[in-house]
């Protein structure tokens, strides 16, 4: 039992499949009516064996972080046995704002440190030297263990890589059977060559994955769902991890179990050639 599929970079080992907490607690603002549904999802994920939880200060106006903290405390899991990623929003990339944003995330999570802190989106006209002066300080002060970015193209990724005092752990970008934009723009290849994880978000197009004959045939061969096959395809790539999201406990378990599906190279190629 348990998810044996991992990626290791810079002595950090992360499960191939983590839990993305977008929509936990609300969308762009907090929606307390979703609390019980959100906590059920988080408890199901913890019970299934997820250890990586990905959130952001902008998710549900910070309420996603509060609920994750609550669910982990209730589960009795030791802090060092979970890996928590959060993100600073693009309007908070000035020096003081980064420090304040991180303090806010930690306060809502009720935690002393983040395992990974990402710049959520590139900001227009951002002075990344200033941003990284703050991010590097957070690492030196022990508030953040590792740094990364999200939605950065290749040029920007290379630019900020030089500004980080510690190796960038990830670039979190959309990647799925139907979205190859970060393969086509060279980001996946660069990450694979440079010991940076690519964290794939929306790996099943937020549940809107369109079915096709190839997916269905492979799903049948593996006694799996097309969603599990789509996830297995994403993580069949070296240096790629993913963070699917679901409120449905059965889907949460199925997503986690997708890490155990071994696709043949023929199956991987047949999905790679879908357009």
Active site residues: 59
Cβ distance 184 to 174 under 8 Å? no
CB 197 within 8 A of CB 226: no
Q: Please check whether residue 163 is in contact with residue 194, taking contact to mean a CB–CB distance below 8 angstroms.
A: no
213 vs 234: CA distance, rounded Å:
18
Contacts of 34 (CB under 8 A, 6+ apart): 24, 25, 26, 60
Q: Which of 267, 258, 9 is nearest to 147 (CA)?
A: 9
How far, in Å, CA of 85 to CA of 3, rounded? 19
How is the beta sheet containing 197-201 ordered, strand by strand? 19-20, 52-54, 83-88, 114-119, 144-150, 170-174, 197-201, 240-242
Contact 119, 131 (CB under 8 A): yes
Token pair belonging to 177: 């059977």
Phi/psi zone of residue 215: left (φ > 0), alpha (ψ -120 to 50 degrees), beta? alpha
DSSP one-letter string for 80-95: GGSEEEEEE-GGG-SH
Distance from C-alpha of 68 to C-alpha of 88, rounded to nearest angstrom: 17
Q: Which residues of 76-104 are buried (b: 16+ CB within 10 A; e: fewer)?
A: eeeeeebbbbbbbbbebbbbebbbebbeb
């Amino acid at each position: 039992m348990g998810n044996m599929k991992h990626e290791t970079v810079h002595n950090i080992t992360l499960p191939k499949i983590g839990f993305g907490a977008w929509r936990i607690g609300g969308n762009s603002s907090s929606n307390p009516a979703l609390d019980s549904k959100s906590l059920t999802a988080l408890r199901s994920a913890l019970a299934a064996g997820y250890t990586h939880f990905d959130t952001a200060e902008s998710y549900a106006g910070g309420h996603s972080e509060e609920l994750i903290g609550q669910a982990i405390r209730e589960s009795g899991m030791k802090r060092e046995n979970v890996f928590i990623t959060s993100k600073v929003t693009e309007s908070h990339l000035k020096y003081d704002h980064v420090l304040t944003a991180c303090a806010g995330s930690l306060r809502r999570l009720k935690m002393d440190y983040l395992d990974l802190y990402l710049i959520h989106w590139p900001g227009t006209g951002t002075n990344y030297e200033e941003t990284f002066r703050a991010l590097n300080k957070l690492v030196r002060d022990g508030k953040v263990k590792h740094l990364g970015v999200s939605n950065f193209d290749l040029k920007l990724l290379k630019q900020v890589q030089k500004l980080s005092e510690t190796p960038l752990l990830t670039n979190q970008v959309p990647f799925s059977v139907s979205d190859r934009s970060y393969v086509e723009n060279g980001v996946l290849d660069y990450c694979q060559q440079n010991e940076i994880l690519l964290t794939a978000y929306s790996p099943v197009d937020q549940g809107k994955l369109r079915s096709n004959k190839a997916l269905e045939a492979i799903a049948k061969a593996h006694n799996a769902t097309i969603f599990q096959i789509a996830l297995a395809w994403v993580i069949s790539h070296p240096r790629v991890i993913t963070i699917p999201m679901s409120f449905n406990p059965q889907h949460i378990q199925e997503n986690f179990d997708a890490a155990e599906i071994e696709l043949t190279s023929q199956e991987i190629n047949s999905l790679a050639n879908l357009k």
